[in-house]
Structures are given as structure tokens and as C-alpha cells.
Amino acid sequence: MAQRTGRAKEKSSNFSLFDLDLRGWLGHAGGAAKGAAKHGGSDLGRLVVVGKQSDATHAVESLQLDVPQWLLERAKKKRGELLYAATADGPLWLVQLESKSSAAAHGGLFALSPYGVARDLAAQIIPSLADHALSELRVHFVATTEHEQLGALVGLELGGYRYRQIRQPRPNQALPRLRLEGVSETTIEEARLLGVSTNMARHLVNLPAAVLNPKTYSDALVEMFESSPSMSVDVWHGKKLVSEQMGLLIGVGQGAANGPALVHLKYRPKGSKRGQRPLAFVGKGVTFDTGGLDIKVSSGMRLMKKDMGGSASLCGLAYWLEQSQLAVPCDFYLALAENAVDKHSYRPGDILTARSGTTVEIDNTDAEGRLVLADAIDVAVKTKGADAPEALIDLATLTGAMRVALGTRVAGLFANDDTLAETLLAAAQRTSEPSWRMPLYSDYLSSLRSSVADMANSGHSRFGGAIVAALFLQRFVGDIPWAHFDMYAWSDGNTGGCIEAGGTGQCVQLLADFLRARISK
């Protein structure tokens, strides 16, 4: 067992996680400038963000910018679009935020929030920046709310993330310096931290499995928090996993060159209320999934470096918590393994014994995510005393069945507690991270029957696969309030402020909002 505690370096630091600059784009900003800029030039660009309650004409007049009349007329008719014009003051992008009424359908759950509208629109400036050799981009906020400002700045941070520029920097492709006007330093810092934390999750997902494996992953987390007074890191591997009888996690990872690990991040900030019980988060961290001996077809294996997306989002959330010092104690349990094909790989028909003592017959080695989660969940729910969790939330790229049901953008949410589910769905709407509650229909548990073990790991039917997987996990949860996100954590294109195809950091913004809301109660 390796145990080291640490603090993520100073907030202004450029400490990197696999080359990711944790200052972010906003961290290099010139601050909240006072007054409108008076000079222009081809190397200076402007982004004007106008609140939904104002209009572009008034905004431009207040900034004393020379903008073509046609652009202002178009802005009146094309609210909710990113508009561009070449002006005497240099290139100008104009966003007139639109007013989104709460859609009656689904109780307004999928209505874009002011935060989400601003985030997604501001991010769209990034592709067009490549057409201009700008040394500085000035962002003007006019008649905007704090939520709109926060969303737009997070959108810039998300849009500015480019994997190749991080791993293979090219000076001529660097983003211009930012100068922000009409927004407070507090909002800038809040947006920077939320954007960087989401980008951290994205970056971890984007890393090749040859770079990110259970060992390098856990080592990076130990290093990240090595001097933190509020976040401790405890890594279980090898003999410790054996002594803890974590047969499911061991079984999944035993065929890989780098064996499995359980990483426990324990966050205990100053200011927590006496007697306040922590929230527990569990993340699936399968750094590559071949499917095991029940091997995937090549097309199904192509993106399986993303199978650790749940753990990646929790890493981003843990970093956000540690840097923000939010007074909500939390525990993060990351179940790390590589599901490899090898002579030591676990086999169909094997019977593994979980940490809980439950025996599991392996019906399909490609149903491995629920196995690693089950052992980690058992560690979380059986923690005693002051560290016993108040509630448990797990994140996992768990089933293809959920993608068939809800597509790639909408996360499936299962919960055994209505209050917890409703609170999470409200946070999902506020942050425009769409989620939909799915049923824990207990009759489907019968498909996991086994004649030689307490249960099988995979159902005998191809129907209801996401529900069956959630029911498998529920067997290990007990009576604690619990929520399970079955998510994709990947985008094939430009969505939700993420310009590049790749990891999305799904649920980081949602859970950060969820935790903030607990403080405001």
C-alpha cells in the first residue's frame, strides 16, 4: 500500500498532469480591465457578449465600437448565434444571448440554461481564431448576469482545449492572450477552475492507454496532491488488494502488464460542519478494455481508452474541490484496471469472489466495469464511524445499451432515492449536462441468476442491458442513498462547449453545481 498526502500546487501554478497546464487559458488572462479599449489593429480581436435582456445595438454603442449596421440588424434577428465582422477596430465576434423559456416538455429538464447557452456559444469562437494571427482577444460583457458570464468563460476554457497543442506544442498555433472586461475577478477564477477541472477529465480520457495505465494514473494523482492539507491519497495494489479480498477488481486486471489498483482520494476541508458525513464517489477506471477473452470486434475496441471516463470526471471534480476548498467532505474511490487479453486473463465460467463475499460467475468478460465498481462500492459503503458516507454516487462508461437508449449526449441516471435523483437532475438542467432517470426494475435481476454462484455478471438477454447492469451494482450498495450515472464521456464532434472530438468531462460541471447547492442550503 502506498499512502501519500499532498496539496495540488498553488492556484497560480503551471503544475501539469500529463502536460496539461492547470492554469488554463483564463489563468493567463489580463484580468478584469476597466473601461473600453480605445485602440484596434489586425492583431487585436474582440468578442462582445450581450445579455439576453439587452440588445446588440445598445452594447456596441456603449463600447463605442465601429460595427457595420448589417451586423447589428442580423444580431436582432439571429439571437443565439456567433456573428463575425471585419471592422476598423479589428476582427469582431458578437454573441447576442437569446432568452430561452422553460420548455413544458419533461418539466423543462432539457431546456438550455442561461449558463449553458452562453457556454456553448462562446466556445464557438475558437475554430475561427485560427484564421487570425491575434496577439490579444478582448472579451466584453454587456448587461450579462453572473451565470451568463460564468458560462461564457467556461465555454472559452473548454473551447480552448486542444489535445495536440498540449502534447505537441506549436508556437504559431498558440491561443491569443485574453483581456476580460465587464466581469469580476471572482467570476473569472470560478470559471477558470471549473473549465480547467473539466479539461483535466477530458485530457485523461484522450491520453492513449500506452501512456495512461493503472500505475501511471495512480502515480500522477499521488504527485498532484502530494502537499495538500485537505486531500490525502491512498493507493491499494498488489498484496493489499489480495488482503482486502477484492477478487472482482483483481480478476479484471490480472491479465495486464500493469496490475489493478484502487485509489482513494479523501477530501477533508477546513470549515466542514462538526458531524458532517462525507459524500462518497466511485469511478470506473478501466484504462483500456479489449473485452478480455470475450474480445470486442475491432470497431468496438477502437475508443476503449475512454473506458475510464467515469474516474476521469471524478479526478476533475476532486481537483475542483481541492482548489475551491468547498466545505463538503468527500471520498473518491477510483477502481483502476486494464482488461487485457493474456494467458492470465480471467475466463468465461470463472467464479470470482467479491470483497463483500458475493460469488460471481463470469458469463462475459466484457461486462467488466460492474465488477471493478462493485468492489470499490463495497469499500465505500462499509467505511465506519465519522467517515461513513451520507450518500454514494458512481460514474461509469458502463453499457452500450445506454447509448442505444439515450444516445451519446444524455447520461442515464439510476437512483434508489428520489430526493437524491431530483437534486442531481436539477443540477443537470442548470449546467446543461442532460441526464434522464432510468428505472431500477427489479424483475430484470432474474437474468443474472447462476446455478454455480450467487449471481452472474451479465444477463442472458440482450434486452434491458443498462438496467441489468445497474441492478448488479445495487446488490453491493445496501441501504445508503445511491445514484449511478451510465454515461458516454466522449463526443465525436462539436458539442457542449467541447470543440474537439474526444473526452467531454461529462458530469464534472453537474456535480460541481450539485456540491455548491449543498453549501447554499
**pLDDT tier at 39, thresholds 50, 70, 90:** very low
DSSP secondary structure string for all residues of 356-380:
TS-EEE-S-TT--HHHHHHHHHHHH
The single-letter code of the amino acid at 215 is: K
- Please tell me which residue, 172 or 519, carries the higher pLDDT value: 519
Q: Would the pLDDT of 44 be above 90? A: yes
Q: Would the pLDDT of 7 be above 50? A: no
Q: What is the DSSP letter of 24?
A: T
Q: State residue 99's pLDDT score.
A: 65
* pLDDT, tens only, 56-76: 887 777 888 888 888 888 888
Q: Is residue 248 part of a domain?
A: yes
- Please tell me which residue, 462 or 254, carries the higher pLDDT value: 254
389 shares a domain with 273 = yes
CATH code for the domain in which residue 470 is found: 3.40.630.10
Q: Taking the model in full, what pTM does it have?
A: 0.95
Q: State residue 52's pLDDT score.
A: 86
Catalytic positions, written as ranges:
296, 370
**Within 10 A of 484 (CB to CB), how many other CB atoms are there?**
29
89 shares a domain with 51 = yes
**pLDDT tier at 187, thresholds 50, 70, 90:** very high
* Strand 90-96 versus strand 2-5 pairing type: unpaired
Q: Is residue 472 part of a domain?
A: yes
221 shares a domain with 180 = no
Q: Is residue 514 part of a domain?
A: no
Rounded to an integer, the average pLDDT of 175-183 is: 94
* pLDDT, tens only, 305-322: 999 999 999 999 999 999
318 shares a domain with 214 = yes
- Expressed as residue numbers, the domain containing 99 is 19-186
236 shares a domain with 182 = no
Helix ranges restricted to H, 229-276:
239-243, 247-253
Q: Which residues contact 513 (CB under 8 A, 6 or more apart)?
A: 427, 430, 431
Q: Would the pLDDT of 77 be above 90? A: no
Q: What is the DSSP letter of 498?
A: B
Mean pLDDT across the chain: 92
Of 184, 201, 188, the C-alpha closest to 156 is 188
Q: Would the pLDDT of 171 be above 50? A: yes
* pLDDT, tens only, 13-32: 455 789 999 999 999 887 66
435 shares a domain with 394 = yes
Separation CA 482–CA 474 (nearest Å): 8
Of 47, 29, 194, the C-alpha closest to 123 is 47
Q: Is residue 154 part of a domain?
A: yes
For the record, the C-alpha cell of 45 comes out as 480581436
For the record, the C-alpha cell of 208 comes out as 492513449
Q: Is residue 494 part of a domain?
A: no
Sign of CA dihedral 240, 245, 250, 252: negative
* Strand 391-396 versus strand 482-486 pairing type: parallel
Domain count of the chain? 2
Q: State residue 502's pLDDT score.
A: 97
Of 157, 290, 206, the C-alpha closest to 489 is 206
Q: Would the pLDDT of 488 be above 80? A: yes
Of 208, 115, 53, the C-alpha closest to 512 is 115
* 361 within 8 A of 456, measured Cβ to Cβ: yes
244 shares a domain with 106 = no
Q: What is the DSSP letter of 277?
A: P
CATH code for the domain in which residue 23 is found: 3.40.220.10
Q: Would the pLDDT of 439 be above 70? A: yes
117 shares a domain with 246 = no
Q: Would the pLDDT of 504 be above 60? A: yes
* pLDDT, tens only, 190-247: 999 999 999 999 999 999 999 999 999 999 999 999 999 999 999 999 999 999 999 9
Q: Is residue 4 part of a domain?
A: no
344 shares a domain with 262 = yes
Rounded to an integer, the average pLDDT of 272-293 is: 95
Q: Is residue 500 part of a domain?
A: no
Q: Is residue 509 part of a domain?
A: no
353 shares a domain with 468 = yes
